[in-house]
Chains A and B, each alone.
Chain A
Amino acid sequence: MNFFDIRPLLRSCVPLLAPLMLHAQSDVDAIMMGKNLLCAGTSLSTGQWNQYWEGGLLRINENLGTVRTNAVAAMGSLGVTKNLNILYSLPWIQTRATAGQMTGLRGLQDIGIAAKYRMLRKKTERKSFSIFGIAGVSTPSQNYVKDYLPLSIGLGSTNLTLRLMADQTYQWFFTTASTSYVRRSNIRLDRQAYYTTRMIYSAEVEMPDALYSNVRMGYRSSELIAEFVADHWLTLGGFDITKNNMPFSSNRMIQTRIGLAGKYEPKKWKGLSLNGSVFHTVDGRNMGKSTGFQFGVFYIVNFSKSK
């Protein structure tokens, strides 16, 4: 069963008014690569918003117009054993606003590595139930500009994510639910002082940790996956964007999205895997009301000596 999945959208770390910071590992789904299989590929995505939440107020900004984020990501996962996968991702991101004078930015964002371990698997003829533990780290691959929201390519913190995930199947139908704690490091700005709810004389910004939850359900076979996905990002602290101010790295950020995702592995082209997804932000705070889609092409390589 050469299941694998790489699905960048609908995953954590979609910050701010925002660029859909993808990190795409399959670290929020229940699919495992078999031993000695490497699934590697590229994902293209785009997202945009023309409304954002300034605190709780959904507004437009004629001096930004539509903010668009495009991304190309290299990513993949490797089956160390059938119960342990290692995943990686590295996106290149480009931002742009259609109105106003502010220039967009582009560059390599965060490199992410995660280990996904299936701790428990119970299987009967028709049903299966599994529990996974996932630990991941992401860190900026270079010293990109952080203090330029909403057009920064990332928030710049080093994140440690610990996730617990459960997966239940019944014949071809499945439900996967996960929740994660994201420990975020402080970041350093290019300036020496900044105002949040008070004046702080330091280049360092305290980043609140975050919770990320994800639920997905749908149809899953060896050839095809079609699923509905919902996720929720919540920072455990931070402050609201003040009226008509720019967003700030340590804002309180909340986002709820829904989407559809799919994957297809044509039987006649063994090893090829195509995936895609769409998402829409339904609620948020200090974030863009973004909508986007993604498409990925991957290939599976078998490293086993005995074939």
Chain B
Amino acid sequence: MKKIILIISLFTLSCNKDIVEINRQFPLLNPIKPDANAGTWKTILPLNASDFTPANPPSVQDAAFKAQLDQIVALQKNISRDDQENMDYWGTGAVLRWNEILREFVAKYNLPPVNNADGSYPIPSAANPLAYPYFPFANPPYAARAYAYVSAAQFDALVIATHWKDRINRPLAFELDNRIQRLLPNPGLKAYPSADAVAYGVSAAMLKLLFPGEIAEIDRRMASHRRARLMSGIETAADLDAGEALGASIAQAYFQRARTDNAGASVAIVNGVNLWKVFEDNCIALNEIPWISQEAPKRPPMLPFFGKVKPFLFDSATLVGTIRPPAPPSTRSEAFRKELAEVKYYSENQTRERTRIVHFWADGVGTYTPPGHWNAIAAETFATLNWSEVRWARAFALLNLSMMDAAIACWDAKFHYYNPRPSQMDPSIKTVTGLPNFPSYISGHSTFSGAAAEVLGYLVPTDAERFAAMANEASLSRLYGALHYRSDCTVGLAVGRKVGSYAVRRGMSDGAGR
């Protein structure tokens, strides 16, 4: 009764339902170490800074440039509450915020198309992204690749920007004009080209390619980022324009790679032909039971040829020869029967704690996917470390390259073995979250999480055990949820760690150090 009286008084007294959002509590970016030598770090794509030479900055004596300084002075005279919030929002980190925008788009577009009346499924078209089915269907492999491309391009763009900052040696805006106040922390680097503008230039260009339905929204975010930087008194319009242009030209190099990485050919159906049947036939030829879609109507498997996408961290021979795991237990074996029985046990014996774990890691339809979840986990950790923008970018690049290649390795195994899901083998098995529409072996969540924990453990060694424990929980969540056999999870985690180790090797030799 006391509790009820308390609740009533709380209700009547407090009218505030506002939610505290974790990512709005992050501190402003204020690097301990500006990483001024980042211009010497090894880029992901083999790029030469000289191919991306910025235009010469305007002379500080130039009348047009003086007008740019006046513009900042004028902006700083009228700072509204919204302006202050906008500066703080972007001041938390350009790489962080554009990574969040990507996660948001993934969540918005991670919806499988509804079937046509005849039981077939419509295919999203990049040429017509806003007509249903919306393009893209940002499912986990699509998302893993998107996170990798955006993060890698951000990193390369910031490395090259740092190279030019050092050469051009342009002072920051507030250093040029004592009427200008510095309203955000000093990045400790030269002004030209602006790192923030490099970040929005490259991110906006990449996102427009990946989410063509969001072009207007991307432009809106870019404008608000630019306004925040101008107002902060750190960079002038010239610094920002040069940064945006550099970012956009780095994006071109990534477009080139994206066009030729085979992702466009990863779909199930081309011109009405069901290309994935080959996997089913291979499986039957080996006298095994092939995966069958459990959706109604039966949906073609998600991106069956994603295993053929060109990895960033190793070549296809390594993928097939070193990384591809051995076959799962045969569906006719005693080992398989035992694994199936274990799944059934978890299906029928939910506990509140196990369900919490399943739902914490589910990252299914309408979410930022498991790679997005690991980006969120990483961001929360990175936000405590006072890194420079370029170091943030490097961390996300290594993380996301590992998860894209984990997606490739996982999809390679899934379609090579084409193993049925537990609920296909025993229809009495019910799942605790949505059942993904692709073969079972190996678990995607486990592969992503193994790779992520390996890379994050390298980047933040003090938290390595925590990341490993989280990955283990994410992996087991798929068994608890009755979506995967135990071997899908344990092998997936091991494959993920192996993929992650390639990203760690890259990190150890890119010149950044820890």
**Chain A's nearest CB lies how many Å from the CB of B24?**
8
Contact of A204 with B362 at beta-carbon distance under 8 Å, contacts A160-B7, A193-B368 already known: no
Contacts of B104 in A (CB 8 A): 195, 198-199
> Which of A137, A190, A244 interacts with B7 by CB under 8 Å?
A137
Please tell me if the beta carbons of A63 and B22 are within 8 angstroms of each other in the complex: no
Contacts of A244 in B (CB 8 A): 111-114
Which residue of chain B lies nearest to A135 when distances are taken between CB atoms in the complex? B8
A89 and B362 CA atoms in complex are apart in Å by 33
Contact of A158 with B7 at beta-carbon distance under 8 Å, contacts A63-B296, A244-B114 already known: yes
**Chain A's nearest CB lies how many Å from the CB of B110?**
9
Please tell me if the beta carbons of A206 and B17 are within 8 angstroms of each other in the complex: yes
Please tell me if the beta carbons of A245 and B111 are within 8 angstroms of each other in the complex: yes
Contacts of A147 in B (CB 8 A): 359
**Chain A's nearest CB lies how many Å from the CB of B287?**
26
Contacts of B111 in A (CB 8 A): 242-245
> Which of B19, B350, B373 interacts with A204 by CB under 8 Å?
B19
Please tell me if the beta carbons of B4 and A186 are within 8 angstroms of each other in the complex: no
**Chain B's nearest CB lies how many Å from the CB of A299?**
25
> Which of B108, B355, B359, B430 interacts with A101 by CB under 8 Å?
B430
- The contact string, 1 if C-beta is below 8 Å from chain B, for chain A 187-217, is 0011111110011111011110000000000
Contacts of B11 in A (CB 8 A): 160, 183, 185
Which one of B4, B104, B111, B423 has the highest number of Cβ atoms from chain A below 10 Å of its Cβ?
A: B4
> Which of B7, B296, B432 interacts with A100 by CB under 8 Å?
B296
List A231-279 residues whose CB lies under 8 Å from chain B. 242-246
- The contact string, 1 if C-beta is below 8 Å from chain B, for chain A 53-88, is 000000000110000000000000000000000000
**Chain B's nearest CB lies how many Å from the CB of A144?**
8
A207 and B365 CA atoms in complex are apart in Å by 21
A143 and B352 CA atoms in complex are apart in Å by 8
Contact of A202 with B297 at beta-carbon distance under 8 Å, contacts A145-B355, A191-B359 already known: no
**Chain A's nearest CB lies how many Å from the CB of B17?**
5
List B71-130 residues whose CB lies under 8 Å from chain A. 100, 103-104, 107-108, 111-114
Contacts of B19 in A (CB 8 A): 186, 200, 202, 204-206
**Chain B's nearest CB lies how many Å from the CB of A56?**
15
Contact of A160 with B431 at beta-carbon distance under 8 Å, contacts A202-B22, A244-B114 already known: no
Which residue of chain A lies nearest to B348 when distances are taken between CB atoms in the complex? A103
B356 in the interface (beta carbon within 8 A): yes
- The contact string, 1 if C-beta is below 8 Å from chain B, for chain A 104-144, is 10000000010000000000000000000001010100010
> Which of B4, B112, B367, B432 interacts with A194 by CB under 8 Å?
B367
Please tell me if the beta carbons of A242 and B359 are within 8 angstroms of each other in the complex: no
**Chain B's nearest CB lies how many Å from the CB of A82?**
23
B294 in the interface (beta carbon within 8 A): yes
A99 in the interface (beta carbon within 8 A): yes
**Chain A's nearest CB lies how many Å from the CB of B97?**
12
Please tell me if the beta carbons of A113 and B296 are within 8 angstroms of each other in the complex: no
A102 in the interface (beta carbon within 8 A): yes
**Chain B's nearest CB lies how many Å from the CB of A27?**
15
A63 and B366 CA atoms in complex are apart in Å by 17
Please tell me if the beta carbons of B435 and A103 are within 8 angstroms of each other in the complex: no
A99 and B430 CA atoms in complex are apart in Å by 10
> Which of A62, A206, A243 interacts with B132 by CB under 8 Å?
A243
Contacts of A158 in B (CB 8 A): 7
Please tell me if the beta carbons of B8 and A190 are within 8 angstroms of each other in the complex: no
Please tell me if the beta carbons of B296 and A99 are within 8 angstroms of each other in the complex: yes
> Which of A103, A143, A204 interacts with B431 by CB under 8 Å?
A103
A8 and B85 CA atoms in complex are apart in Å by 48
Please tell me if the beta carbons of B367 and A245 are within 8 angstroms of each other in the complex: no
B51 in the interface (beta carbon within 8 A): no
Interface size class, chain B: 35 or more
Contacts of B373 in A (CB 8 A): 193
A143 and B356 CA atoms in complex are apart in Å by 11
Please tell me if the beta carbons of B20 and A202 are within 8 angstroms of each other in the complex: yes
> Which of A103, A242, A245 interacts with B430 by CB under 8 Å?
A103
**Chain B's nearest CB lies how many Å from the CB of A46?**
20
Which residue of chain B lies nearest to A199 when distances are taken between CB atoms in the complex? B104
Please tell me if the beta carbons of B360 and A190 are within 8 angstroms of each other in the complex: yes
A101 and B24 CA atoms in complex are apart in Å by 37
A11 and B435 CA atoms in complex are apart in Å by 35
Please tell me if the beta carbons of B21 and A160 are within 8 angstroms of each other in the complex: no
A139 and B23 CA atoms in complex are apart in Å by 30
Contacts of A3 in B (CB 8 A): none
A148 in the interface (beta carbon within 8 A): yes
A95 and B18 CA atoms in complex are apart in Å by 31
Contact of A191 with B296 at beta-carbon distance under 8 Å, contacts A103-B430, A199-B368, A206-B17 already known: no
Contact of A245 with B296 at beta-carbon distance under 8 Å, contacts A160-B7, A199-B103 already known: no
Which residue of chain B lies nearest to A139 when distances are taken between CB atoms in the complex? B7
A104 and B297 CA atoms in complex are apart in Å by 21
B402 in the interface (beta carbon within 8 A): no
Please tell me if the beta carbons of A192 and B430 are within 8 angstroms of each other in the complex: no
Contacts of A113 in B (CB 8 A): 4
A298 and B338 CA atoms in complex are apart in Å by 49
A145 and B433 CA atoms in complex are apart in Å by 12
B400 in the interface (beta carbon within 8 A): no
Which one of A143, A190, A200, A206 has the highest number of Cβ atoms from chain B below 10 Å of its Cβ?
A: A190
Please tell me if the beta carbons of B107 and A245 are within 8 angstroms of each other in the complex: no
B347 in the interface (beta carbon within 8 A): yes
Please tell me if the beta carbons of A195 and B367 are within 8 angstroms of each other in the complex: yes
Which residue of chain A lies nearest to B103 when distances are taken between CB atoms in the complex? A199
Please tell me if the beta carbons of A195 and B107 are within 8 angstroms of each other in the complex: yes
Contacts of B297 in A (CB 8 A): 62
Contact of A102 with B431 at beta-carbon distance under 8 Å, contacts A199-B107, A243-B111 already known: yes
Contacts of A207 in B (CB 8 A): 17
**Chain B's nearest CB lies how many Å from the CB of A181?**
11
Please tell me if the beta carbons of B294 and A101 are within 8 angstroms of each other in the complex: yes
- The contact string, 1 if C-beta is below 8 Å from chain B, for chain A 135-165, is 1010100010101100000000010100000
Please tell me if the beta carbons of A62 and B296 are within 8 angstroms of each other in the complex: yes
**Chain B's nearest CB lies how many Å from the CB of A173?**
36
Please tell me if the beta carbons of A192 and B355 are within 8 angstroms of each other in the complex: no
**Chain A's nearest CB lies how many Å from the CB of B187?**
25
Please tell me if the beta carbons of A201 and B107 are within 8 angstroms of each other in the complex: no
B62 in the interface (beta carbon within 8 A): no
Please, could you name 24 A-B residue pairs with CB atoms under 8 Å apart, sorted by A?
A99-B296, A100-B296, A101-B423, A102-B433, A102-B434, A145-B355, A147-B359, A189-B359, A190-B356, A193-B373, A193-B376, A194-B367, A199-B103, A201-B22, A202-B19, A202-B20, A206-B18, A207-B17, A242-B111, A242-B366, A243-B132, A244-B112, A245-B366, A246-B434
Which 9 pairs show the lowest CB-CB distances between chains A and B?
Answer: A103-B430, A195-B107, A62-B296, A190-B359, A199-B104, A244-B114, A201-B22, A201-B23, A160-B11
20 extra A-B contacts, CB within 8 A, seeds A158-B7, A204-B20? A63-B296, A101-B430, A102-B434, A102-B435, A137-B8, A160-B11, A185-B11, A185-B17, A186-B19, A190-B355, A190-B360, A191-B359, A198-B104, A199-B368, A200-B19, A201-B21, A201-B23, A202-B20, A205-B19, A242-B366
Binding site for B on A (CB under 8 A): 62-63, 99-104, 113, 135, 137, 139, 143, 145, 147-148, 158, 160, 183, 185-186, 189-195, 198-202, 204-207, 242-246
Binding site for A on B (CB under 8 A): 4, 7-8, 11-12, 17-24, 100, 103-104, 107-108, 111-114, 132, 294-297, 347, 350, 352, 355-356, 359-360, 362, 365-368, 373, 376, 423, 429-435, 482
